[in-house]
Amino acid sequence: MNFFKTVFLSMIIVAAVASTGCSKETGGGKVADTGIDAARLEVLKNTGAVIETQYGNIELEFFPDAAPLHVDNFIKLASEGFYDHTIFHRVIPGFMIQGGDPNTKGQERHTYGQGGPGYNIKAEFNDINHDRGILSMARSQDPDSAGSQFFIVVKAASHLNRQYTVFGRVTKGLDVVDKIVNLPRDSRDLPDERVEMTVRVITIKK
């Protein structure tokens, strides 16, 4: 898939339809079965994450009742260090920041936006709106094509509601997200500066 098979994003900005910031990686074509049971769901409800960057930390809480497969997948990947040293490879002021592509660990910029974990996750569209601070999964045209790439919304984007899987939200660090989204960028919305992340899984009590 071409880096701009994320044509959706351009279409959203120009024509207010589906977005590339929410367009995504190739994943490998199969739908992952995570086999989540009640015990695992309880663990997920008490799990959060922190995205560490040079601009500060972004703290996340998850919505396992609304999107258990996506929450479980993100936590597993983060626990394995999958996201460490990846970057936010797409930033659109007034819209979102996107990251989670393992290809961004390298220097081949033409491959950014194409990477994934080697499998796809079945869509879990829900009734949570894409408001400021929402964490959602990127995908291609296939609803069941999310893998590892995610985005954080900086301004309400109602055109994404029930089209992309919301699975969490920022609880602290939206100022960091704002700094990242406003960085100088090229014509493909790739920041001029590498904004690398380390994702830490944490235990929280609700």
User: Can you give the pTM of this predicted structure?
Assistant: 0.87
1 belongs to a structural domain: no
Please give the sequence-ordered ranges of beta strands (E in DSSP) within 32-149, or none if there are none: 47-53, 56-62, 86-92, 96-99, 134-137
2 belongs to a structural domain: no
CATH number, position 134: 2.40.100.10
Cβ neighbours, 10 Å, residue 5? 16
Query: Mean pLDDT over residues 15-37, rounded?
Result: 52
**pLDDT tens digits for range 99-140:** 999 999 999 999 999 999 999 999 999 999 999 999 999 999
- Which residues lie below 8 Å from residue 13, measured CB to CB, with a gap of 6+? 19, 92, 95
Query: Mean pLDDT over residues 176-181, rounded?
Result: 98
Q: Given a cut of 90, is residue 33 above it in pLDDT? A: no
145 belongs to a structural domain: yes
184 belongs to a structural domain: yes
| Amino acid, res. 75 | I
Q: Given a cut of 70, is residue 202 above it in pLDDT? A: yes
105 belongs to a structural domain: yes
What total number of domains does the chain contain? 1
CA 19 to the chain's CA centroid: 13
Name the residue range of residue 98's domain: 7-203
81 belongs to a structural domain: yes
